[in-house]
Structure 1
Amino acid sequence: MTAGTTEDLWHKVRTALERNGDRFAELVVSAPDAQVMVTGDWSVADTAAHVAGIAAYYPSLLRPGDVPTPFPDLADRMRSVDVDRVAELNHHLMREITERDPRVLAERLRRHVGEILRMSEDLDPDRTVTWLGSSRVTVAGLLAHLVNELMIHGWDIARAVGAPWPMSPGDAGLFLDLFVTGLLRNGFGSLLDTGEPPDPRRVAVEFRSPHTRPVTLVLRDGKVTVEEPGARADVRLRFDPVTLNLMLFGRVSQVRAALTGKVVVTGRRPWLLSAFLRKVRLPSNSYPAPAVAGEP
């Protein structure tokens, strides 16, 4: 096991993927009506198709020589996409996936999650694979990304159909701990390209929660690096991982997250967080807005 993904974290992300895959599949199948709108454009069935499509794609990233991509017509778009064009990529992906039967989609999802777990079992969790925008993501980070997709879109469906959807902070913390930091360490390709001139200021943001390893992310001249905690921080962010992820993906407002005390911003220059998030941002606008308003 190389530095970066501990044996404990590798076990946790694998367990979280299996558990949340099963939970999501059960949620989809139990929805009273698969045509209930989850977002402005996506129904329960559409949302399930989106998540199942991601799960179908990941085996080809883990074993590119053995498993062909299920979406060859989108290969060029996936390699060159940036964060502002993920919505467009999702639109094309949804056109490729024609199945909308919730039971079929739930079964496909379970099958693909099983394939991902089997294929990754003997891989080095810190080996990198080529992801969107020609970025480099670790195997452990790839699994953590899918865990987050299951949790966020499960939240969307549950809100729409009035079902419970408890989310584990430990599972949610894997997104920052393994996916985000792994991507920034290994290269984010064109994914964070904004077309804006790089800001020469150094902005260091320290992230801490009881469920993740402390880390400092530093933005300077348009580049983002990962530093050990203790680096001189401009912003110190204490957070509940569930709330942070929902906020980063546009499900919970920054004001609401702050008012609940689940995301607390301090530090010597806390106002620089906005400049940091303009560069280090997630595709919160790449999915249609939730059809059911509300905060957790």
Structure 2
Amino acid sequence: MGTVTRFDPVAEHERARAALGVVIPRLVRLLRDVPDAGAASGVPVWTVGDVGAHLAAVYLGYCSVVSADGAVEWDGLLPSGEASFGERIAAMNARSIDLFGGEERARPADVVAERGEEFLRITEGLAPDTPVAVPWYGEGVTISLATMTGLLISESLVHGLDVARGAGLPWSIGPDEVALVIGQSMPTMMALALDEEKARGVGIAFDLRIKGGPRLAVVVEDGAMTVTRDAPPRAYDCRITAAPVAFLLVSFRRTPIWRAIASGRMLAGGRRPWLAMRLGELVATP
């Protein structure tokens, strides 16, 4: 079955906080170096300026929920309670690019710098399992601070790539920081983003092994998903072995899975290796 490596959640969260502290100034420099905010970005239908505005909105929103400072009036922004997870995120993404206007819209780097520093300051010393309300995911939904920290790193890395691709600027994504993203946020977010309609009647157990990173037991059972780190030995239908950066970019639809497979950065094995393709189909990504 393979060995299971135990992790220290407190130590890992501190490493994630340190990684976020490094990526924020990198992102700020990137946003300030953009030569043309009207250029097409790595996100279809969004300009580089739109991605910058979205990043500013993300940092404002995340900082707002950990500080409860009332900086965001959520009642006017949130989609209806009947919307699915994918629909809610798509609606929030669309609204995020119009959240700022004028000077703030033109200078997203300043918002990212200010709110990023504030997020790290407010959350310093808090336990990684501290619950944080996330109204954009649904009424009453909470995630852990560790999950939110990992999400903020992933938003920065992936959208930094979108900006860099459109602006023709360099941007690097390292395997160590991505391994932290996967360990901190994926166990919660994969289950939260499950497409319940597609998962109805499905029973698959995936052994997801991230090179140099966490090993996750991803079990889909009739419309529900559980994602467990350090899972006890069990039988799996499909084993997926992936390089961290490849898994992140495939998960966020920035790299096609066939390219990751062809380059050897993602491999499928086990009793039913062909089921590897189903994992991406079952998890919603707007």
Same fold (TM over 0.5): yes
Q: Distance in 2 between matches of 1:222 and 1:273?
A: 18
Deviations 1:213-245 (A, max 9, x none): 212110101111134153211111111111111
Shift in alpha-carbon separation, 1:197–1:231, aligned structure 2, 3 A: closer
Matched, 1:27 2:30: yes
Q: Distance in 1 between matches of 2:65 and 2:248?
A: 24
**1:47 aligns with one of 41, 44, 51:** 51
Aligned length: 274
**2:177 aligns with one of 163, 166, 171:** 171
**2:273 aligns with one of 259, 266, 270:** 270
- Tell me if the contact between 1:219 and 1:276 (Cα under 8 Å) persists in the aligned partners: no
CA root-mean-square deviation: 2.4
Matched, 1:160 2:166: yes
Compute the displacement of 1:23 (Å): 0.8
Q: Name the stretch that deviates more: 257-266 or 128-137.
A: 128-137
SS of residue matched to 2:188: helix
Alignment correspondent of 2:10: 7
For structure 1, list consecutive stretches of 5 or more residues without a partner in the other structure.
Answer: 287-296
Deviations 1:54-109 (A, max 9, x none): 11011232233xx2251421145589551244222211222222246677210110
- Tell me if the contact between 2:150 and 2:184 (Cα under 8 Å) persists in the aligned partners: yes
Compute the displacement of 1:144 (Å): 0.7
Matched, 1:181 2:187: yes
Alignment correspondent of 2:237: 234
Alignment correspondent of 1:150: 156
Deviations 1:4-39 (A, max 9, x none): 762321121111112111111101111222222214
Alignment correspondent of 2:3: none
Matched, 1:260 2:263: yes
SS of residue matched to 2:37: coil
Compute the displacement of 1:161 (Å): 2.1
Identity %: 25
Shift in alpha-carbon separation, 1:99–1:250, aligned structure 2, 3 A: farther
Alignment correspondent of 2:127: 124
- Tell me if the contact between 1:45 and 1:100 (Cα under 8 Å) persists in the aligned partners: no
Matched, 1:244 2:247: yes
Q: Distance in 2 between matches of 1:96 and 1:103?
A: 12
Alignment correspondent of 1:115: 118
Please show how residues 211-226 of structure 1 align to structure 2 within 5 Å.
Answer: 211-226=212-227
SS of residue matched to 2:107: helix
Shift in alpha-carbon separation, 1:198–1:165, aligned structure 2, 3 A: same
Alignment correspondent of 2:203: 202
TM-score (ref. length: structure 1): 0.83
SS of residue matched to 1:124: coil
Compute the displacement of 1:164 (Å): 1.5
* 4+ residue runs over 4 A deviation: 76-81, 99-103
Question: Which letter maps to 1:46?
Answer: D
- Tell me if the contact between 2:240 and 2:276 (Cα under 8 Å) persists in the aligned partners: no
SS of residue matched to 1:137: strand
**1:70 aligns with one of 58, 69, 72:** 72
TM-score (ref. length: structure 2): 0.86
- Tell me if the contact between 2:27 and 2:160 (Cα under 8 Å) persists in the aligned partners: yes
Question: Which letter maps to 2:187?
Answer: T
Q: Distance in 2 between matches of 1:122 and 1:47?
A: 31
